[in-house]
Amino acid sequence: MELSTVDFAELLQLRADVDAEIRRRESEEKAKAAKQVLELIRTHGLDIEDIASKSAKLGSVPATSTRKPVEAKYRHPDDASLSWTGRGRKPLWVVAWLDAGHALEALQIK
């Protein structure tokens, strides 16, 4: 089919038809996959709870996982409450320190 020769209204209808067919096939594929999964569950004597708990143990990351905070690598020499991990944008106090001609290494936490 040469699309450049198709009327605009026909193109719109074609797009609608294609979208509808995609939705229909997607639904079929999902139903087919669900049927296969249920067959595997029955074949191996499992239940949904077994599958859910085992998949969590196989490396899926829970949605509520938290990361350990990164430790600070640099600290202000006069104000210990000001620290920086060395990641991301430099804090203003670090920029001021560097602008004053001091070395970043002088701020390192040892």
**pLDDT tens digits, one per residue of 86-103:** 999 999 999 999 999 999
Q: In this predicted structure, what is the pLDDT of residue 59?
A: 59
Instruction: Give me the number of domains the chain comprises.
Output: 2
pLDDT digits (tens, 9 = 90+) for 24-79: 999 999 999 999 988 988 898 888 777 777 665 665 555 666 888 899 999 999 99
* pTM, entire model: 0.42
Domain shared by 79 and 51, yes or no: no
Residue 93 domain boundaries:
74-107
Which token pair is 108?
């390192």
Domain shared by 8 and 52, yes or no: yes
Domain shared by 14 and 45, yes or no: yes
Cα–Cα distance, 98 to 86 (Å, whole number)? 14
Domain shared by 8 and 53, yes or no: yes
Q: Residues 83, 87, 91, 94: is their CA dihedral positive or negative?
A: positive
Q: In this predicted structure, what is the pLDDT of residue 48?
A: 79
